[in-house]
């Protein structure tokens, strides 16, 4: 970065209000550290709702992530300065940044201790979660006793999330036939064998805890 004749431009969007985590201060620290030409903006809850419909019209497929609206705003900001961007999305998945990942590690340890009773216990916890409308309890119950690699896909795209559990209700038979040979879970499982996923996640979670970083559950 120091060898570049021009400063790298960086862009961040944040949310106003006390109920959400504003990551702009962290982005500014990184920008100062590396000497980037930094731009940021903040959107309100009213901005969020106003731009929901226009944003959805630009998407090519259904997206369950509210940050898609923020991505719209930050792209609009960046468009005033640059023509192309490198996104920071995916960092939490790559480095175990979400609490989901260390939680799944602990769940895998509980499953190993429970042995053949892990799935039975998980089914009971999941049922209790559905009865009490506790989404987290249902999700972790369904994951108990399952391989760690099968739960790693993403924070909102794992096998226990609503859409993936009910995919056959929403996807056409033709689509299912065309994609049955493609499995993210199988690909991730092969990676776990070569990179020792549990060890990597342990190091990432320890690094996050030592620095007191705030993460989104």
Which has the higher per-residue pLDDT, 22 or 114?
Answer: 114
Distance separating the N- and C-terminal Cα atoms of the chain: 32
pLDDT greater than 60 at residue 44: yes
pLDDT-above-90 percentage for the chain: 18
Give phi and psi for 136, each to the nearest 5: -65, -45
Give phi and psi for 183, each to the nearest 5: -140, 115
Domain ranges for the chain? 9-89, 95-210
Predicted local confidence at residue 6, as pLDDT:
79
Condensed to tens digits (0 to 9), the pLDDT of residues 186-207 reads: 666 676 666 666 566 666 555 5
Please indicate, yes or no, whether the overall pTM of this predicted structure exceeds 0.85: no
Q: How confident is the model at residue 217 (pLDDT cuts 50, 70, 90)?
A: very low
Predicted local confidence at residue 160, as pLDDT:
65
């Amino acid at each position: 970065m120091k060898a570049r004749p021009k400063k790298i431009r960086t862009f961040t969007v944040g949310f106003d209000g006390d109920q959400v985590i504003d990551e702009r201060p962290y982005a500014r620290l990184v920008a100062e550290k590396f000497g980037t030409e930094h731009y940021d903006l903040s959107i309100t809850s009213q901005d969020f709702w106003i731009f929901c419909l226009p944003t959805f019209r630009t998407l090519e497929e259904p997206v369950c992530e509210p940050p898609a609206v923020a991505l719209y705003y930050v792209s609009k900001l960046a468009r005033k300065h640059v023509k192309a961007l490198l996104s920071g999305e995916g960092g939490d998945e790559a480095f175990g940044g979400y609490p989901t990942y260390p939680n799944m590690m602990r769940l895998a340890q509980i499953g190993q201790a429970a042995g053949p009773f892990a799935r039975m216990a998980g089914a009971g916890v999941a049922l209790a979660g559905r009865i009490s409308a506790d989404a987290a309890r249902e999700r972790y119950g369904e994951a108990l006793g399952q391989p760690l690699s099968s739960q790693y896909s993403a924070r909102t795209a794992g096998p226990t999330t609503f859409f993936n559990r009910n995919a056959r209700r929403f996807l056409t038979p033709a689509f299912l036939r065309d994609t049955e040979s493609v499995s993210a879970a199988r690909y991730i499982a092969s990676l776990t064998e070569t990179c020792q996923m549990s060890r990597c996640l342990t190091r990432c979670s320890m690094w996050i805890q030592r620095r007191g970083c705030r993460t989104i559950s």
